[in-house]
Amino acid sequence: MDNSFIDIVGVSKSFGGVTAVDDISLSVRQGEFFSLLGPSGCGKTTLLRILGGLETPGSGTVRIDGQDITDMPAHLRPTNMVFQNYAIFPHLN
């Protein structure tokens, strides 16, 4: 029985001719503590933006609790993101 809560399978993303994420697959079980670490420019932020629906993968699938959310709009996903700077509505006060 597969008890993974987040499944990222074969996800890739390129910007122009630059590959930011290349065939990443990982699973995180419910209740598991997970950390994404790596050097600057290795694709951490791109992968998190794909998980949150702020970027669309060029290939692969993203599932949360068994539901394919690869093409689901960001506002309908069961995810949240806290930005380092004001990034969503900079024109509002």
Q: Which domains does the chain have, with CATH numbers?
A: 4-76 (3.40.50.300)
Per-block average pLDDT, block size 10, for the chain (93 residues)? 87 96 96 93 94 96 96 92 69 64
pLDDT of residue 92: 65
User: Is 49:43 a contact under the CB 8 Å cutoff?
Assistant: no
pLDDT of residue 81: 81
- DSSP-derived 3-state class of residue 68: strand
Nearest to 52 by CA among 37, 65, 62, 42: 62
pLDDT of residue 80: 85
What is the three-state SS of 13-65? Answer: EEECCEEEEEEEEEEEECCCCCCCCCCCCCCHHHHHHHHHCCCCCCEEEEEEC
pLDDT of residue 1: 45
For the whole model, what pTM was predicted?
0.85
